């Protein structure tokens, strides 16, 4: 329940940055609703500095308006197709966010029994859930069968046989397991190697040359119901071509399967990338016009419409239901991690900004060396810049002091960093920073490493915000642990 209301103390002036982006304007040409207003960073109409003062830091903050806008834009772009958008729960599994999407009509892409449990707890429909993952357990398969999920995405022959055996044990309940084999189209998604899933070198899916034979085996299994075919080539893909290439390779197989087995759907997976660099500026519609213009001949970001335009023609010809499994696309740019500066440390030619968030709160920079833009919550208004260690110069374009710093956390690891040699406005102790694009694979990958309590999570909707996960306490860290009897 939204129980707090936060309003600006003053009406935004005409000079306020991006002043045209008020709550009355739609998000359809933007990727998020984080903006400076009266010199303070806001999420929708909520002043983030005030939220941090009330709830402390580190703190995850999500924009409900941004999430729903992304979902609605994708849904509208796919209107020519019979389709179902199945949100990839692994990107951000907070129950409040799942409920937000369930209420909007979304289905869900799940990869564990726990994720299915979360979806059900949020009011999601199991008949709109596809169950993916290469190593499903007996308990998870039985639970998903009991809940009557839409489909199991099968990754191997061994898994197909395992599901058949488990479904056979449940025949007294009249159950047949609905399945879709996961095709591995062997395309290069041009993304980071750890999140590429559509190559022959990855553990995911079945080679195209083996699909026909395995579907024939499945057709002869008494407890298996063939309902579709699925593929997924990777994550954080910012070009339309890999998606279009994969669809073209799998489309003939889909037509054949429809003819032989009457399959109902083709799931083309997710993977559409978001803006990490220039994340804050991408909140302006003008940024998209500047960075996707024909004159540049190269887009810095892939819009929803460009993605649909590249994939729609081949999909329309199939005349089956199309499933999408976006995760990062819906929630990535909708979240920030707020963190406060504890100390400034100067060591020779190196300057460190030590913040209260750590790699346990957001591990992506340490794990993938991934880039997250970091902006001050108080809008900088200084003159001049620092372009290197000890070198001061004038920055005519921004007219603000800048310096190269490392932004690091308190965890006892050299890999505990959020930015290295990052040019930033001058930062001081107690300043509040916002780590952008933290809505996906942020909290869900957090841990208690160094016995650090997990941060709180907040959902913003208009001028209201609500805590959707309480901050852990030190007592929570040992809850569930039991003394050995000897």
Most confident of 274-288, 391-405, 459-473: 459-473
Contact 184, 170 (CB under 8 A): no
pLDDT of residue 397: 39
Q: What is the token pair recorded at 331?
A: 């929630």
In sequence order, the β-bridge partners of residue 118 are none
Identical fold between 4-62+333-473 and 64-332 = no
Cα-only R_g, the chain: 24
Task: For residue 109, say if its preceding peptide bond is cis, omega within 30 degrees of 0.
Answer: no
- Average pLDDT taken over every residue of the chain: 86
Tally Cβ neighbours within 10 Å of residue 342: 14
* Confidence (pLDDT) at 4: 52
Residue 142 and residue 175 in contact, taking contact as beta carbons nearer than 8 Å: no
Q: Give yes or no: 430 in active site.
A: no
> What average pLDDT does range 65-74 have in this prediction?
95
> Residue 399: beta bridge partners?
none
Q: State pLDDT tens for residues 240-258.
A: 899 999 999 999 999 999 9
CATH H-level superfamily of 4-62+333-473 = Lyase, Ornithine Decarboxylase; Chain A, domain 1 (2.40.37.10)
- What mean pLDDT do residues 410-435 have? 96
Q: Tell whether the model's pLDDT for residue 223 goes beyond 70.
A: yes
Please compute the mean of the pLDDT values over residues 281-291 and round it to a whole number.
81
Residue 18 has pLDDT above 60, yes or no: no
pLDDT at 419: 97
Q: Which residue of the set 86, 129, 412, 430 is catalytic?
A: 412
Residue ranges covered by each domain of the chain: 4-62+333-473, 64-332
Residue 295: pLDDT above 60? no
Q: For 90-99, 194-203, 315-324, 471-480, which range has the lowest pLDDT when averaged over its residues?
A: 194-203
Predicted confidence (pLDDT) at residue 401 exceeds the cutoff of 70:
yes
Confidence class of residue 24 from pLDDT cuts 50, 70 and 90? very low
323 has a pLDDT exceeding 60: yes
pLDDT at residue 235 in the model: 84
**DSSP per-residue codes, 47-86:** EHHHHHHHH-SSEEEEEHHHHHHHHHHHHHHTTTS-EEEE
Domain 64-332 -> CATH class: alpha beta
Question: Above 80 in pLDDT, residue 166?
Answer: yes
Separation between Cα atoms, residue 254 and residue 258, nearest integer Å:
6
């Amino acid at each position: 329940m939204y129980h707090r209301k936060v309003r600006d103390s003053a009406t935004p002036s005409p000079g306020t940055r991006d002043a045209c982006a008020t709550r009355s304007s739609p998000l359809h040409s933007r990727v998020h609703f984080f903006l400076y207003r009266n010199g303070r960073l806001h999420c929708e109409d909520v002043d983030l500095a005030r939220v941090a003062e009330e709830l402390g830091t580190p703190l995850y903050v999500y924009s409900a308006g941004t999430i729903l806008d992304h979902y609605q834009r994708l849904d509208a772009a796919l209107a020519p197709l019979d389709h179902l958008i199945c949100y990839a729960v692994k990107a951000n599994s907070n129950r409040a966010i799942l409920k937000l999407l369930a209420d909007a009509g979304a289905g869900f892409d799940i990869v564990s029994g726990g994720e299915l449990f979360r979806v059900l707890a949020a009011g999601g429909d199991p008949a709109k859930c596809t169950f993916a993952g290469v190593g499903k357990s007996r308990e998870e398969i039985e639970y998903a069968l009991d809940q009557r999920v839409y489909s199991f995405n099968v990754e191997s022959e061994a898994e197909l046989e395992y599901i058949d055996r488990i479904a056979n044990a449940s025949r007294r309940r009249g159950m047949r397991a609905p399945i879709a084999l996961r095709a591995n189209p062997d395309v290069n998604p041009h993304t980071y190697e750890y999140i590429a899933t559509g190559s022959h070198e990855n553990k995911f899916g079945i080679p195209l040359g083996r699909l026909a034979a395995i579907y024939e085996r499945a057709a002869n299994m008494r407890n298996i119901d063939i309902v579709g075919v699925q593929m997924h080539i990777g994550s954080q893909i910012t070009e339309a071509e890999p998606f279009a290439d994969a669809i073209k390779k799998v489309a003939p197989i889909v037509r054949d399967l429809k003819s032989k087995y009457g399959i109902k759907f083709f799931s083309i997976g997710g993977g559409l990338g978001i803006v990490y660099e220039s994340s804050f500026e991408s909140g302006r519609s003008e940024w998209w016009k500047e960075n996707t213009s024909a004159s540049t001949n190269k887009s810095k970001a892939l819009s929803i419409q460009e993605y649909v335009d590249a994939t729609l023609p081949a999909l329309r010809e199939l005349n089956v239901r199309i499933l999408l499994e976006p995760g990062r696309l819906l929630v990535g740019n909708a979240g920030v991690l707020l963190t406060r500066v504890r100390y400034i440390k100067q060591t020779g030619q190196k300057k460190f900004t030590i913040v209260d968030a750590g790699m346990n709160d957001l591990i992506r920079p340490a794990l993938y060396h991934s880039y997250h833009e970091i902006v001050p919550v108080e809008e900088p208004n200084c003159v001049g810049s620092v372009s290197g260690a000890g070198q001061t110069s004038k920055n005519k374009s921004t007219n603000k002091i800048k310096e190269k710093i490392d932004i690091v956390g308190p965890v006892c690891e050299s890999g505990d960093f959020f930015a290295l040699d990052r040019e930033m406005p001058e930062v001081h102790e107690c300043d509040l920073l916002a780590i952008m694009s933290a809505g996906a694979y942020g909290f869900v990958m957090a841990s208690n490493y160094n016995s650090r309590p997990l941060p709180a999570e907040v959902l913003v909707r208009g001028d209201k915000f609500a805590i959707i996960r309480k901050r852990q306490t030190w007592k929570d860290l040992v809850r569930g642990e039991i003394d050995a009897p000897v």
